[in-house]
Amino acid sequence: MSLPVHHCPDLTSAAVGGTVVLEGDEAHHAVAVRRLAVGEQVRLVDGRGRSVTGPVAATGKRSLTVEVVAVDDDERPAPAVTVVQALPKGDRGELAVEVLTEVGVDRIVPWAAARSVAVWRGERATKSLAKWRSTAREAAKQARRSWFPDVDELAPTAAVAELLASYDVVLVLHEAATTPLVSVPLPDAPSFRVALVVGPEGGLTDEELAAFEAVGAVTVRLGDEVLRTSTAGVVATAALLSRTRRWGAG
């Protein structure tokens, strides 16, 4: 059974033989909810590849001290996958973020698509983005990730197109596409950057497709079934990663 994982934002000074003190809500969750006790093994991660492992040395109401037995620095997973996720309605946005994080996505870009039912403005935008980021952090811990995904600020279509221009491979999921995702050639390299664009419930507009195709995007389909916007991204990411060295292929 893998060790419980907790997020400690700063592990830069962690060294074998020393200690790391976790405080605040994260420590409270470890002690009061998970009931970690002195002597139990735990893993702390900073979300940027560094982790420490060791036994719990002391606990308090909102603090947890860990004796550092091992320090590991993991390279960022490659190839890196970014998902541009059109805003789904209701709580399906958090579902999308959760499953995308679990499957290994490295960056999530909330997209204000023309036909998105959900709209982020003002205080709602601030709260929604915070919820997406919190969901990604919790899902990353659940998935035992040492690298947490970045969750960007809400982006309009023009900003998304500009972002996509910097990627090696850009795939737009579209139910009317004729090219299967599994047939798109991928770079023969251990490291490259790929972006997947997931549209809203109402579909992409012609203008959005044109903007993305202008920067090299290829429209692709997964199969005959039409998936919800909240689940299409995770299925596409899994299909993509299954063809890469990251998941043992090649």
Residues 162-204 pLDDT 10s:
999 999 999 999 988 999 999 999 998 889 999 999 999 999 9
Range of the domain at 151: 80-247
Same domain, 60 and 86: no
Same domain, 109 and 65: no
Q: Which of the listed residues 73, 104, 122 is the one where a domain comes to its end?
A: 73
CATH number reported for the structural domain that contains residue 118 in this entry: 3.40.1280.10
Residue pair 244/103 in contact (Cβ under 8 Å)? The answer is no
Residue pair 221/164 in contact (Cβ under 8 Å)? The answer is no
Question: How many CA atoms are closer than 13 Å to the CA of 88, on its beta-carbon side?
Answer: 19
Integer Rg of the chain from CA:
20
Same domain, 85 and 116: yes
Cα 159 vs. chain centroid, distance in angstroms?
Answer: 20
What is the per-residue pLDDT for 250? 60
Same domain, 104 and 63: no
Beta-carbon count within 10 A of 249 CB: 10
| Whole-number Å distance between alpha carbons of 1 and 28 | 23
pLDDT tens, residue by residue, 87-115: 998 899 999 999 999 999 999 999 999 99
Q: What is the DSSP letter of 141?
A: H
What is the per-residue pLDDT for 225? 86
Same domain, 69 and 109: no
pTM confidence score:
0.94
Q: What is the DSSP letter of 137?
A: H
What is the per-residue pLDDT for 73? 97
Task: Specify the DSSP element, H or E, that contains 236.
Answer: helix 229-241
Q: Which of the listed residues 18, 52, 73 is the one where a domain comes to its end?
A: 73
Per-residue pLDDT of the chain (250 residues), as tens digits, is: 688 899 999 999 999 999 999 999 999 999 999 999 999 999 999 999 999 999 999 999 899 999 999 999 999 999 999 999 999 988 999 999 999 999 999 999 999 999 998 999 999 999 999 999 999 999 999 999 999 999 999 999 999 999 999 999 999 999 889 999 999 999 988 899 999 999 999 999 999 999 999 999 999 999 888 899 999 999 999 999 999 999 987 6
Alpha-carbon torsion 79, 149, 141, 102, what sign? negative
Same domain, 60 and 90: no
What is the per-residue pLDDT for 161? 98
Total number of domains in the chain = 2
